[in-house]
Amino acid sequence: MELELIAVGDNLIHKEIFKSVRDSEGDYDFNPLYDPVRDAIQAADIRIVNQETVFTDKASEYSSFPIFATPVFVADSLVKAGFNVVTHASNHAFDKKRRGLEVTWDYWKTHYPEIGVVGISGSREESNKVYIIERNGFKVAILNYTEKLNGHFVPPKDRFRIARLRKSEKRRIQERIAEARALADIVVVCPHWGCEYLYEPIRSQREWAAFFAQCGVDLVIGTHPHVVQPMETVTRADGKPMLVYYSLGNFISCQVKAGTALGGFAHVVFEKDEQGVRLKEYGLKPLITHADEGFRNFRTYFLRDYTEALAGENQIFKTVSRLRGIEMSKASQERLFQDIISYKAQAYNEYKTPHDVTMANIKSVFNFLIGKNIKK
């Protein structure tokens, strides 16, 4: 028996995206965003997406960077695209406090109870459950945690709502993984971790990866940096490999920083026989976010299907080139992807350390507050 799993990175809906899909009658249709990759998503057994932001059901509350509130209609389009597991524990999970989490949880459970929603919970009882999805004779446990909440204070009574990746929670995380290990054939952990805009994992990511390997995890799928990072295998205590995707970058966004238009499509196959479950094959395919002039008609493409003609029309590429003096083309993105997965990209990243990123983010928020920002 075989099980095929795919995963993509951050579904990050900036205002340019939700404005671009609004029609003359005020309705929103996000379905076209994912059309170019829909068939590949639906071909797999387990299909995971990181929904970076919480939802709102009020048009007056729709917002973008730095505090996100995304139209609930995005959920409809993710389901139609084929995703059956959605990770929600991210640094933006508490952007809209308790209400944002309640609206998000309730929308999923009311409209799509069959979809696995992990990383957030609607009750203490739910927060203590291990999510397991069954396909093709496999039981797969999927856990999701976030390191950061962008400085938001979460009242003690609401802390069950978001699964946190913190050293103080290590024992609890270890116990949860052990429970998942006892219930499932495959254990997947999806950490929202690391440092934004760095093409390589930082020390804390490697430390957590080693911890997950010690706990017997089979697959780690990382998000948060908004750029792709390498993948590798880590040997567990039992000698089996644990596959780690340190970051899948953005699935779709309107970020205009170096590397943020490039995403990763993870593809993993497990096999099972009388001797147990094994990792059979895996890979990572590059994705690209496209936007027409005026930031219209956003789409996510496989880079292999993208053309230089489309690249020449990509408003994101044009903006990055103008603001940052970086060549943006299909060929440049192919080179960047190869350099990332071979640990060669960090040398020309505009950010060299987490401190550089922190200072740039502070500047970005300041510029936003005084009205100078174009995009995040």
Give the residue from 222, 252, 64 showing the smallest Cα distance to 147: 222
Q: What pLDDT is recorded for position 373? A: 53
Rounded to the nearest integer, the mean pLDDT of the chain is: 96
- The CA distance from 245 to 235, in Å, is 14
Does residue 375 carry a pLDDT above 60?
no
- The CA distance from 29 to 22, in Å, is 7
Q: For the domain that residue 123 is a member of, what is the CATH number?
A: 3.60.21.10
- The CA distance from 225 to 256, in Å, is 14
Domain total in the chain: 1
- DSSP letter for each residue of 170-212: HHHHHHHHHHHHHH-SEEEEEEE-S-TT-SS--HHHHHHHHHH
Answer whether residue 307 is part of any domain: no
Answer whether residue 279 is part of any domain: yes
Q: Is there a contact between 258 and 237 (Cβ–Cβ < 8 Å)?
A: no
At residue 256 the predicted structure's pLDDT band, cuts being 50, 70 and 90, is very high
Which amino acid is present at 165?
L
Q: Where are the alpha helices (DSSP H) in the chain?
A: 15-20, 38-42, 73-81, 97-111, 124-127, 170-183, 203-215, 308-313, 315-324, 330-341, 354-369
Which amino acid is present at 249?
G
Answer whether residue 335 is part of any domain: no
pLDDT 10s digits, 86-110: 999 999 999 999 999 999 999 999 9
Answer whether residue 319 is part of any domain: no
Q: What pLDDT is recorded for position 376? A: 42
Q: Helix or strand or coil: residue 306?
A: coil
Answer whether residue 308 is part of any domain: no
Answer whether residue 360 is part of any domain: no
pLDDT 10s digits, 206-235: 999 999 999 999 999 999 999 999 999 999
Answer whether residue 347 is part of any domain: no
Does residue 172 carry a pLDDT above 80?
yes
Q: For a pLDDT cut of 90, what percent of the chain falls above it? A: 90
Domain enclosing residue 229, as ranges: 2-289
At residue 43 the predicted structure's pLDDT band, cuts being 50, 70 and 90, is very high
Does residue 61 carry a pLDDT above 60?
yes
Give the residue from 26, 23, 32 showing the smallest Cα distance to 74: 32
- Check: pTM over 0.85? Answer yes or no: yes
Answer whether residue 341 is part of any domain: no
